[in-house]
Amino acid sequence: MSECPVCAAQIALADDTVVGELLECPDCGTELEVTALNPPVLAEAPETEEDWGE
């Protein structure tokens, strides 16, 4: 179990979860990134910026 950094909801991680995996909080809908596994730590996922082919 880990905690959403935005709304403090408890989130169960799958056994095959890896660092860098993106998840969505089931309570608030925030996109989260797994930053550590032992203990499990979640952080808000960085916003992706448009490349526009430049």
What pLDDT was estimated at residue 28? Answer: 96
- Domain at 7, CATH number: 2.20.28.160
33 located within any domain: yes
Q: Give 3-45 as a 3 state SS string.
A: ECCCCCCEECCCCCCCCCCEEECCCCCCEEEEEEECCEEEEEC
51 located within any domain: no
50 located within any domain: no
Structural domains in the chain (count) = 1
Least confident of 11-15, 22-26, 46-50: 46-50
Distance from C-alpha of 5 to C-alpha of 8, rounded to nearest angstrom:
6
pLDDT, one tens digit per residue, over 11-22 is 999 999 999 999
pTM of the entire predicted model: 0.81
In sequence order, the 6+-apart residues with CB closer than 8 A to the CB of 12 are 1
52 located within any domain: no
Q: Which structural domain, as residue segments, surrounds residue 24?
A: 2-44
